[in-house]
Structure 1
Amino acid sequence: MAGTGERRKTWNAEINIVEAGTEVRAEARLRGKEGGQMVGEGTAKCNPADENVPAIGDELSVARALSDLSHQLLSRAAHDIEVHTARPVERLHA
C-alpha cells in the first residue's frame, strides 16, 4: 500500500499481575499514545467457598484492567472531541 498516504503508529500495552493471598491485582499500562501513558486497574478475589484456580483470577483481573483502560480511552476521546468541536459528545461515553 505504498503511496496511499497511510501513517502507522504503535501503541504498546503492558500488563502486570500481582497475586497476594486470595487477591489478584492487574495493571494494564498503555504507552505510545500522545500525551503519555494511561493505566487501567483490575482486581479479583477468590471466594473462600470456591476452589482456588489462579489462572481464573488472572483472567478476571486482566479483563477488568483492560476494561478500565478502555473506558478511560473512550472518555478521553469524548473529551478531546468536545474540546476540538466546542460541542458536547453524545453516545460515545463508556
Structure 2
Amino acid sequence: MTTKTWKAEITITETDSEVRAEARLRGKEGGQMVGQGTARCNPADENVPAIGDELAVARAMSDLSHQLLQRAAHDIEVHTARPVERLQA
C-alpha cells in the first residue's frame, strides 16, 4: 500500500469589487500547478464578499482541475502512443 500526499493552497485577493483566487497544487513529482479564477460584484447587486470568494475559488479550482485532466491525457498519450478521446471531471 502506498499513500501519497498532494497539498493545495488557495490564496484570495480582494480589491474593490473584484476577487481573485489562485489555487496552487503541489505534490506531483515535486512540481506544481496553478489555477486562477475571478469574480466581480455587479454594481446592481448587494456586495457580499463571501459569495465573491466562493465564486473565485470555485473558478480557480475548476481551472486547476482542467489543467490536471489535460496533463493526465497527455501522459496517457505519451505512455500508450495513442490519442485520448476525452477525459471528464
TM bin, normalised by shorter chain, reads: over 0.9
Summarize the Cα distance change of 1:16–1:22 in structure 2 as closer, same or farther, 3 Å threshold. same
Distance 1:35 1:10 in 2: 11
2:84 corresponds to which of 76, 83, 89: 89
Identity percentage of aligned residues: 83
2:14 corresponds to which of 16, 19, 38: 19
Structure 2 residues not aligned, in runs of 5+: none
1:29 corresponds to which of 24, 35, 46: 24
Displaced runs of 4 or more, over 6 A:
none
Structure 1 residues not aligned, in runs of 5+: 1-5
- What secondary structure is seen at the aligned counterpart in 2 of 1:80? helix
Q: Which has more radius of gyration? A: 1
Paired amino acid for 1:14: E
Distance 2:16 2:81 in 1: 49
**Aligned-pair CA distance for 1:93:** 5.8
Distance 1:49 1:13 in 2: 34
1:45 corresponds to which of 37, 40, 44: 40
- What secondary structure is seen at the aligned counterpart in 1 of 2:62? helix
Q: CA RMSD in A?
A: 1.1
The two structures have a TM-score, normalised by structure 2, of 0.96
Structure with more helix by fraction: 2
The two structures have a TM-score, normalised by structure 1, of 0.91
Distance 1:29 1:78 in 2: 20
1:59 aligned partner: 54
Residues paired across the two proteins, number: 89
